[in-house]
Amino acid sequence: MPRLSPYPIRLSPAEARELKRMAARYTLPYFMVQRAKMILLAAQGWDNKDIALRIDARREVVSMWRKRFFTKRLAGLEERPRPGRPRAAV
């Protein structure tokens, strides 16, 4: 039986515009483009498994980003500070 996400995604017009802009940009990092595509597909009613198959990602990853967007909206798609020592410049 398919699992339904408890985090339905409904976008405001401004959010939809921003996510479409992000998904179409070649200059953004790949992970940001992928996250934008995940949320756009979720807003169209796709389930996590189908989104994962479409963008070649794991279902758990799609689920995590859907939840972060649901709780924090566009700010949830940004990178969080990572623990540990920052990378050294080469």
Give residue-wise pLDDT tens across range 1-29.
456 777 888 899 999 999 999 999 888 88
Quote the number of domains for the chain. Answer: 1
DSSP per position, 8-20: -----HHHHHHHH
Q: What is the pTM of this model?
A: 0.81
> pLDDT at residue 45 above 70?
yes
Q: What confidence category does residue 57 fall into, taking pLDDT thresholds of 50, 70 and 90?
A: very high
Residue 90 belongs to some domain of the structure: no
Residue 89 belongs to some domain of the structure: no
Residue 9 belongs to some domain of the structure: no
The pLDDT assigned to 2 comes to 58
> pLDDT at residue 89 above 90?
no
Q: How far apart are CA 15 and CA 83, in angstroms?
A: 30
Residue 83 belongs to some domain of the structure: no
